Structure 1
Amino acid sequence: MRLIKHNKGDVKSTKGRRPFIIHFYEVFDTRSEAFKREQYYKSVNGYIYLKEQNII
């Protein structure tokens, strides 16, 4: 699982911001759908959505 790698410090770009916790999750049928959603949440509009929903 990606979260485990991030929390162990195996990911260089997130090593200094540990530990990470899961606020919520979604399930997708394909990896490409999940990737598109992840990119949305990393965008300005996605960030605003997460704030409005009190997820972050």
Structure 2
Amino acid sequence: MKYFSYVIYSQESGTFYHGYFEDLEKVLEMHNADEIAPTKGKGPWVLMFSESYDNRMRAIRQASFYRSVKGQRFLKKMLNF
């Protein structure tokens, strides 16, 4: 089974969200339907970046890295923000 580490962005609120999930399309739909508490009411959300992993723990670690200061700097540089 594949797991995804992903980064979504809401231009309206200027907010990034970093997470992991098994089904990338489904989780994006869930974010945009306000079914996930941390992103509720802050959308619409657009997928900015994702990576796939064969291991759930690796996806979790990568999502945690993107939440760190170093990870945020890396993403902003990579995504030209």
Q: TM-score range by the shorter chain?
A: 0.7 to 0.9
Q: Segments of 4+ in structure 1 off by > 4 A?
A: none
Ranges in structure 2 where 5+ consecutive residues have no aligned partner? 1-25
Higher helix fraction (1 or 2)? 1
Corresponding letter in the other structure for 1:16:
G
Using the size of structure 2 for normalisation, the TM-score is 0.61
Q: Does 1:35 align with 2:60?
A: yes
Partner in structure 2 of residue 22 of structure 1: 47
Q: How many residues are treated as equivalent by the alignment?
A: 56
Using the size of structure 1 for normalisation, the TM-score is 0.84
RMSD: 1.4
Identity among equivalent pairs (%): 32
User: Which structure exhibits the higher relative contact order, with contacts defined as CA atoms closer than 8 Å and separated by 6 or more residues?
Assistant: 2
